[in-house]
Amino acid sequence: MVQIVVSSARAGGLAEWVLMELQGEIEARYSTGLAGNLLGDLHYTTEGTPVLIVGHHILYGKIIHLEKPFAVLVKHTPGDQYCDELGRETGTRYLVTALIKDKILFKTRPKPIITNVPKKV
């Protein structure tokens, strides 16, 4: 039987992460790829509505509390770990690094931001 061991990474409390859900795709403008680039800014309005600014789009979203929270697992393969006392080959182990209890959902169409409006059209 297959057994997958999930264990907690640290003894203390786990981190709390927030999930951001976008309805669409994120692309890189240049061919360098997405890695290391700034996605955008996340702000909250006074009522608590999250606002995301990506490029020249602005998205409004809402915070949803998850009924079934997610856990962030990191996979550890046996090659990297020290061996167990039993001497068996330890299988892959998943370590929980964070929990996700809320998510921010952006499902509306983004609005463009226009910064240069001529005086007379």
- Binding-site ranges for another protein (CB under 8 A): 2, 4, 22-30, 32, 34, 37-40, 53-57, 59, 75, 91-92, 109-110, 112-116, 118-121
Residue indicated by tokens 């997405």: 34
How far apart are the C-alpha atoms of 11 and 76, rounded to whole Å? 17
Question: Which C-beta is closer to another protein: that of 7 or that of 37?
Answer: 37
| Residue 28 beta carbon to another protein: minimum distance, rounded to whole angstroms | 6
Question: Which C-beta is closer to another protein: that of 16 or that of 23?
Answer: 23
Residue indicated by tokens 């264990």: 7
Question: Which C-beta is closer to another protein: that of 48 or that of 112?
Answer: 112
> With contact defined as beta carbons under 8 Å apart, do 103 and 66 qualify?
yes
Strand partners, 104: 20, 63
| Residue 26 beta carbon to another protein: minimum distance, rounded to whole angstroms | 6
